[in-house]
């Protein structure tokens, strides 16, 4: 069945920049009404202006790691939009620190933002989707959640966890009309490495070379949107290098990790 975007209300977290911004603009271009969420209301308003027919979209700012704010944001989104057809859990934060140097507090922070915050918001939205007999939940994981690399131990663990959680959710709710898709971005040209947490919780503050040479956020959004329209459940949105690593991993995981040990992945 062809997706009628003009009838869809799509809630996107982490919409103030990067992947979330690109997805918001792309999906709005196709006719959907977007609920844009993130912590910075001014940036969200700026993204809203970039979206086609900006007057129809809704800004709901909140801190996704705060359970009370998440509940109030859900109530506000529902009150203003009336319904939520798709939830795209895009908000998150990356990591750039060695496991042996990273504090447990930082690991918990990564898990809280990249796993618990995503599952919490999904549980808030699901009852309405189940009641209306349809809906789509999109979890933005990462290639790092499939292939462990240096400097991303807790981040990769959180992204792997959300991938497995989505698999279980898909199995549990398939018969109730709920679709679940997981997106695995590779290196994308965003501020992800600049904002990535280091061993003590401070931001790295610099752009990784690999990130700088990755896919554009616009190309990512176009690819993901097309895949979601087709009903794909696992969406790899990455460059040739990451796709090659995925292929090697399927054929010989030990060989891949020999290559990873020699590579500069930071």
Neighbours of 72 (CB within 10 A): 13
Q: Which two tokens stand for residue 193?
A: 């490495």
**Does the residue 231 lie in any domain?**
yes
What pLDDT is recorded for position 2? Answer: 66
**Does the residue 157 lie in any domain?**
yes
What pLDDT is recorded for position 164? Answer: 98
Active site residue 155: yes
Q: What is the pLDDT along the chain (266 residues), one digit of tens a residue?
A: 567 899 999 999 999 999 999 999 999 999 999 999 999 999 999 999 999 999 999 999 999 999 999 999 999 999 999 999 999 999 999 999 999 999 999 999 999 999 999 999 999 999 999 999 999 999 999 999 999 899 999 999 999 999 999 999 999 998 999 999 999 999 999 999 999 999 999 999 999 998 999 999 999 999 999 999 999 999 999 999 899 999 999 999 999 989 888 887 77
Question: How many residues would you count in the chain?
Answer: 266
Beta bridge mates, 138: 88, 181
Picking from 131, 133, 205, the residue whose alpha carbon sits closest to that of residue 174 is: 133
Distance (Å, rounded) from C-alpha 258 to C-alpha 193? 24
pLDDT in tens, 78-97: 999 999 999 999 999 999 99
Picking from 89, 95, 127, 129, the residue whose alpha carbon sits closest to that of residue 109 is: 95
Q: Could you tell me the CATH number of the domain that includes residue 229?
A: 3.40.50.720
**Does the residue 258 lie in any domain?**
no
What pLDDT is recorded for position 1? Answer: 56
What pLDDT is recorded for position 265? Answer: 72
What pLDDT is recorded for position 143? Answer: 96
Q: Are 88 and 23 in contact (CB under 8 A)?
A: yes
Contacts with 224 (C-beta within 8 Å, 6 or more apart), sequence order: 23, 183, 235, 237
Contacts with 139 (C-beta within 8 Å, 6 or more apart), sequence order: 89, 118, 122, 162, 163, 165, 166, 180, 181, 182, 183
Q: Are 91 and 62 in contact (CB under 8 A)?
A: no
**Does the residue 67 lie in any domain?**
yes
What pLDDT is recorded for position 228? Answer: 97
**Does the residue 254 lie in any domain?**
no
Picking from 16, 19, 64, 56, the residue whose alpha carbon sits closest to that of residue 40 is: 16
Picking from 199, 183, 194, the residue whose alpha carbon sits closest to that of residue 136 is: 183
What pLDDT is recorded for position 262? Answer: 81
| In the chain, beta strands by DSSP E | 9-12, 33-36, 58-59, 86-89, 135-140, 178-185, 188-189, 215-216, 234-237
H/E element, 105: helix 104-111
**Does the residue 248 lie in any domain?**
no
pLDDT in tens, 24-42: 999 999 999 999 999 999 9
- Residue 263 sits at φ, ψ, to 5 deg, of -90, 160
Distance (Å, rounded) from C-alpha 46 to C-alpha 95? 27
**Does the residue 150 lie in any domain?**
yes
Residues of the domain holding 114: 5-240
Q: Are 176 and 135 in contact (CB under 8 A)?
A: no
**Does the residue 133 lie in any domain?**
yes
Catalytic residue among 74, 155, 234, 257: 155
User: Into how many domains does the chain fold?
Assistant: 1
Taking the CA of residue 17 as centre, how many other CA atoms within 13 Å lie in the half-sphere pointing to its CB?
Answer: 14
């Amino acid at each position: 069945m062809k997706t009628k975007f003009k009838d869809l209300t799509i809630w996107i977290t982490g919409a103030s920049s990067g992947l979330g911004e690109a997805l918001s603009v792309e999906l709005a271009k196709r006719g959907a009404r977007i609920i844009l969420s993130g912590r910075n209301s001014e940036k969200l308003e700026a993204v809203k202006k970039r979206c086609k027919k900006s007057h129809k979209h809704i800004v709901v700012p909140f801190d996704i790691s705060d359970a009370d704010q998440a509940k109030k944001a859900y109530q506000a989104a529902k009150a203003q939009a009336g319904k939520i057809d798709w939830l795209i859990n895009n908000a998150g934060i990356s990591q750039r620190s060695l496991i042996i140097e990273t504090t447990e507090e930082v690991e918990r922070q990564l898990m809280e933002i990249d796993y618990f915050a995503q599952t919490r918001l999904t549980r808030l939205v699901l009852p309405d989707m189940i009641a209306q007999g349809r809906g789509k939940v999109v979890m933005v994981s990462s290639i790092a959640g499939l292939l462990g690399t240096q400097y991303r131990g807790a981040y990769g663990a959180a992204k792997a966890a959300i991938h497995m959680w989505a698999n279980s959710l898909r199995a549990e709710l398939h018969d109730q009309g709920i679709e679940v898709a997981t997106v695995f971005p590779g290196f994308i040209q965003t501020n992800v490495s600049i904002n990535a947490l280091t061993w003590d919780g401070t931001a790295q503050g610099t752009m990784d070379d690999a990130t700088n040479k990755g896919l554009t956020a616009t190309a990512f959004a176009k690819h993901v949107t097309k895949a979601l329209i087709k009903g794909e459940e696992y969406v790899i949105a990455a460059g040739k290098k990451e796709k090659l690593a995925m292929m090697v991993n399927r054929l010989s995981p030990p060989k891949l990790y020999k290559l990873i040990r020699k590579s500069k992945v930071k």
